[in-house]
Amino acid sequence: MAVDLTGKVCLVTGASRGVGRGVALGLLEAGATVHITGRTVRDGEHPEGLDRAGSLASVLGESGKYPGRCVAHRVDHAYDVETEAVVHRVLADEGRLDILVNSAWPGYERMVEDDRFTWVDPIWQQPMWRWDAMIGVGVRSSWCAIRVATEAMARQRSGLIVNISFWAAQKFMQNAVYGVSKAAMDKLAADVAHQMREFDVAAIALYPGLVRTEEVLKNAQYFDMSNSESPEFQGRAVAHLAADPALLQKSGRVFTSADLALEYGYADIDGYQPRPNTFETV
């Protein structure tokens, strides 16, 4: 079941690759105007020299397949001034902001250092940069964008804020800092929902499943891909949430992309219906 978001204005942070890229494409599929942010302008030009596929240019190139309009902004969300500026730019250019998706996430960028997988190292060997990346950038930039966006959404008395999160918010998943950061994203959605309800603005936390991101596909031999989801599947979840006339009833809660697909009656881009993860099965 398709939805029509023609006339809606969206901002998706961290959309040059991964889940953010998929969310942007899913919203473009629904006909929305989608502003995207990222640090990598063109493929092969990662600002830290990392070998990571995905760029703003590649999303812009792919956007031509969809009815929506895509606008790219080079933004480093480690800097509050850049995060605030892009929200103000969208509001100045479009006159409104209907959907904000917080997906900027540098926490996975150096899971392997010196050919060693440091993600599962003991606490005393965990580098402090990981805290700074996940919380100082990932969570902080989400709060920074929300601060600016909510003022405009309160004036227009409508809006949807989506924080990309995961089950690590609720159970230990190999890394304590990861859990703290995702729990913060859930709590941020819940408390923003509480404060913004009087303005008819909703906030939710969205849990993807195993997503076929660029990095996952590069290491597919280490994953059971049988129940995986496309990045675009995450965008379809956000699009259907935004089109739900009863959205405020969901505000403040956590949803998986797969559960929303079953509720709203749509499938992944290949026609597959992913099975929802649960606390016990993830």
Q: What is the pLDDT of residues 132-156, one digit of tens each?
A: 999 999 999 999 999 999 999 999 9
Closest CA relative to residue 101, chosen from 48, 191, 37, 158 = 37
pLDDT of residue 49: 57
With beta carbons less than 8 A apart as the criterion, state whether 12 and 37 touch.
yes
Lowest-confidence region among 3-12, 24-33, 35-44: 35-44
pLDDT tier for residue 44 given thresholds of 50, 70 and 90: low
For residue range 161-218, what is the model confidence (pLDDT) as tens digits? 999 999 999 999 989 999 999 999 999 999 999 999 999 999 999 999 988 887 777 7
Residue 212 phi, psi (nearest 5): -80, 65
When the pLDDT of each residue in the chain is averaged and rounded to a whole number, the result is: 93
From the list 79, 108, 178, 266, the catalytic residue is 178
pLDDT band at 252 (very low <50, low <70, confident <90, very high): very high
What are the C-alpha distances in Å from 150 to residues 7, 161, 182? 19, 9, 21
Predicted confidence at residue 123, as pLDDT, reads 96
**CA dihedral angle for residue 173, residue 253, residue 88, residue 3, rounded to 10 degrees:** 110
SS3 of the chain: CCCCCCCCEEEECCCCCHHHHHHHHHHHHCCCEEEEEECCCCCCCCCCCCCCCCCHHHHHHHHCCCCCEEEEEECCCCCHHHHHHHHHHHHHHHCCCCEEEECCCCCCCCCEECCEEHHHCCHHHCCHHHHHHHHHHHHHHHHHHHHHHHHHHHHHCCEEEEEECCHHHCCCCCCHHHHHHHHHHHHHHHHHHHHHHHHCEEEEEEECCCECCHHHHHCHHHCCHHHCECHHHHHHHHHHHHCCCCHHHCCCCEEEHHHHHHHHCCCCCCCCCCCCCCCCCC
pLDDT, average across residues 70-79: 97
For residue 46, give both structure tokens: 């990662």
Strands 69-74, 254-256: pairing is: unpaired
The whole-number pLDDT of residue 114 equals: 73
pLDDT, tens digit (0-9, with 9 covering 90-100), for 100-123? 999 998 867 676 777 777 888 999
What's the N-to-C CA distance of the chain in angstroms? 27
Residue 66 a catalytic site member: no
pLDDT category of residue 223 using cuts at 50, 70 and 90: confident
Give the pLDDT band (50/70/90) at residue 47. Answer: low
